[in-house]
Amino acid sequence: MPTLLLSQEAVRDLLNMPEVIKVVEQALRDWAQGKGSMPAKAYLLLDQGDFRAMPAALPEAAGVKWVNVHPQNPSRGLPTVMAIMIYNDPQTGYPLAVMDATDITAYRTGATAAIASKYLARPDSHTLGVIGAGRQAYTQIEAHAQLFDLKLIRVHDRSRDAAQKLISFFPRYHLKACSLEETAASDIVCTLTPARVPFLKREWIVQGTHINAVGADAAGKEELDPAILKEAMVIVDDIRQASVAGEINVPITEGTFAIDEIYGTLGEIIVGKKQGRKDKDVITVFDSTGVAIEDLAVAKLIYEKAKKSGSYMSLDIIGVSQ
């Protein structure tokens, strides 16, 4: 039985943001309804970075993502984040595919934030603020543009070159380099940095703003003024992960925010167990740590498209006795 081997180029050819948004939302729905399984993300900390092992199962799918975060990699000509996905047959355990998951990670993260905005941002949101112009900024813009009529996308990055590169990549949208304070005044704000000192101040945030806090994905990382969390309706992707590695991890450690102050999970809102935005003036925060359920849903999509195509490399990795 052959195992499909899908390179980054192959995966990129098969990725499509509207399809990714659809399968990720369905995966979050399935998970909230008890149809999925996901152990806690396991971290392997090293001097120069870290690795995360992320297993999950959904109806008719199982797999694990092995992903790294090495902040100094760009100086070495390598991406900060790289990932491999092993996609298995849940009935037998056989590895159906081994695929690059670097772009899967970027796409599903952008898709999940846009889904959160769909349920938590004001329906008439027309401005998007992107803080941090790295790889994730591209999929955040692409995903949000699928769900919102964006009149203006404000971009802030400490590197003017990075901001300009992002702006040049999207000539079909109105992107503008702005100050941090100006960017924070958008209807939807996405924070996409590795910050360990909060930079997004409460006084910059307009009532009714929705914030996707994406950058904090490990212990010690923090982007938002804790005062924002105290006032906001806080939604997480996974309470276990968020409490130890998400935007709320430092405030919880310091005692300025408690787990019982979390309003609920995105999955609970999608299936209607919890109400989303309650009024136009509430500030909402989605603490996005990235969950393996999302990766698996996209891997399943990629595998099915690749198998149907029949034009991708395969290898008999495991000998099967007849």
Task: Report, as residue numbers or ranges, the catalytic residues.
Answer: 65
**Residues 279, 208: Cα–Cα separation, whole Å:** 8
* Closest residue by Cα to residue 129 from 194, 188, 178: 188
Note whether 247 and 192 are within 8 A (CB).
no
3-state SS string for 222-233: CCECHHHHHHCE
Closest CA to 128 of 147, 112, 151: 151
Residue 183, amino acid: T
For 198, half-sphere exposure in the C-beta direction (CA atoms, 13 angstrom radius) is 16
User: Beta-strand (E) ranges in the chain?
Assistant: 3-6, 42-45, 50-58, 61-69, 81-88, 95-100, 127-131, 152-156, 175-177, 188-191, 210-213, 233-236, 264-265, 284-287, 314-315
Dist. CA 139–CA 101, nearest whole Å: 14
From residue 253, alpha-carbon distances to 58, 93, 199, 222, 233 in Å are: 32, 39, 18, 12, 19
CB-based contact 120:147 (threshold 8 Å): no
- Which tokens hold the place of 154? 């404000």
**CA 58 to CA 38: how far, in whole Å?**
9
Tell me the C-alpha distance between 82 and 32, whole Å: 28
Residue 195's alpha-carbon distances to 218, 221, 247, 306, in angstroms, are: 11, 6, 10, 37
